Amino acid sequence: MERRQALKNMGLSIGAFALTPSVAGLLQSCSGNSKLSWIPEFYSNEEADIITKTLEVILPPTPEIPGATDLNLAQFLDGYAKNVSGENERLHLKKLIKEYISTTLNSSGKTSVSSLSSDDIESRLAFYLKADKAKVENWQTGSSSDSLNYQFLTTLRSGGVRAFKMSEFIGENVMAYSPIPGRQVGCVDLLEATGGRAWSL
């Protein structure tokens, strides 16, 4: 299934970040920065590299819609972890990403994150995110290496999708958007009201 269609099918099933002033500031600061000048604040360069690569596989660009790298989603998630997440959450994220890097390098036979290809990342995503129900239930309650990897990838995917939907470009150009809401029409089908698109936040 094409990733963009899968995201569309997810719709609003994935919750949103609380739109606090800190989060709004992060969105603003990430929207205009060049991806080449980004220096991670919370993650190491290696960690930021694998997050960027993984998000680009989850949310690749299309001719009409920019991908995760174009929208600086990894930069946003780095800033969110540094400036909004609590200490326990930050420690847990570091534990998860360390395990993800280690097992991804081992499974691909590579020695550095910089040498990982999108195919290497794709195979890890497929293994964890397309697993059968029994494996997923086991990973959700366990503390094994697979459990940590599953937790990391589901956390990264949900955070990436939320950041994608909150980005200025997607909000104004892809989702239904009205800069000055005011007209209220009750009991209207979403397909009729917005062409099936969710409203921008």
pLDDT at position 157: 96
Span 12-63, pLDDT tens digits: 334 444 445 455 455 545 444 434 347 999 999 999 999 999 999 999 999 9
What percent of the chain has a predicted confidence (pLDDT) above 70?
72
Distances, alpha carbon 70 to alpha carbons 37, 122, 129, 147, in Å: 13, 19, 24, 30
Pairwise CA distance, residues 69 & 24, whole Å: 19
Under 8 Å CB-to-CB from 177, ≥6 apart: which residues? 171, 199, 200
The letter for the amino acid at 183 is: R
- Matching residue, tokens 């919750």: 15
pLDDT at position 181: 61
Partners of 7 in the β-ladder: none
pTM: 0.74
Pairwise CA distance, residues 180 & 129, whole Å: 39
Cα 200 from chain centroid? Answer: 17
Span 75-128, pLDDT tens digits: 999 999 999 999 999 999 999 999 999 999 999 999 999 999 999 999 999 999
